[in-house]
Amino acid sequence: MVERINGKTILTTPISAEDLKGIKIGDIVYLNGSMTTCRDVAHRRLVEEGRELPVDVRNNAIFHAGPIIRPLENDKFEMVSVGPTTSMRMEKFEYEFVKETGVRVIIGKGGMKENTERACKEFGAIHCVFPAGNAVVAATEVEEIVRAEWRDLGMPETLWNCRVKEFVTAVFGAQGRPAARYYLACCAGCGTRFVNLPRGRCSILPKNSRYGFRFGVPLSCASNGLKRMV
């Protein structure tokens, strides 16, 4: 489901291809619902070994990430931090992964290439990014870890199925268009995150009390300087 509330584009799982039709490269989207961390070995198991993913990600989201988890009582867990890992490592698997799983939203770090572009176009998906260096911030957007699968892979590679609330991400690829000219940047001094958009136009993620983002700040942050993230 897609909603636009007070200028915010909110995607709530389950998500259909129709929900994604109005979303463009450079848009900021807020994800609610089911998101599963899924990286190298999980992709390899599904694509190369033909193993069924033990978490249903159809019409939901995956996050190329390696979290730090705190175990609690009664087989419960708490997300301590969850930072994105380089998505390009999953590029060679992504077409088959999207085809087989029906995932709608792929979130990670950095750009991807032709396999992901083709998958987004043919199967109705989008590729988004979350900037590195904000793993603790990302953890605050995880309301609950619902389940953990393939624990034999160790903490970073386990499939952590999470319920998220307004998980903020920027669209890098939509309607089959790649995002080679786009990147996120983060102010090295204050952590303000910037999105570099087409034609040199710059935008800052919307104001939110958890982040303190501001509108109208140019793509430099006083004397702090910018740290390019991807």
Q: What Å distances lie between residue 23 and 58, 72, 109, 129, CA to CA?
A: 19, 38, 19, 14
Q: How many CA atoms lie within 13 A of 188 on its CB side?
A: 6
* CA 221 to chain CA mean position, Å: 25
Report the C-alpha gap between 33 and 63 in whole angstroms.
Answer: 13
CA distances (Å), origin 79, targets 15, 22, 75, 111: 24, 32, 13, 25
Beta bridge partners of 193: 186
3-state SS, residue 28: strand
C-alpha closest to that of 61 among 184, 134, 160:
160
**Three-class SS state of 92:** helix
Q: Is 127 a catalytic residue?
A: no
Please enumerate in sequence order all residues whose Cβ is within 8 A of that of 96, keeping only pairs 6 or more positions apart, or say none. 46, 47
Residue in this structure with the two tokens 């309607």, named with its chain if needed: 175
CA angle 229, 27, 136 (to 5 degrees): 45
- Per the structure block, which two tokens stand in for 103? 């995932």
Q: Which of 29, 39, 42, 43 is catalytic?
A: 43
Residues marked active site are found at 43
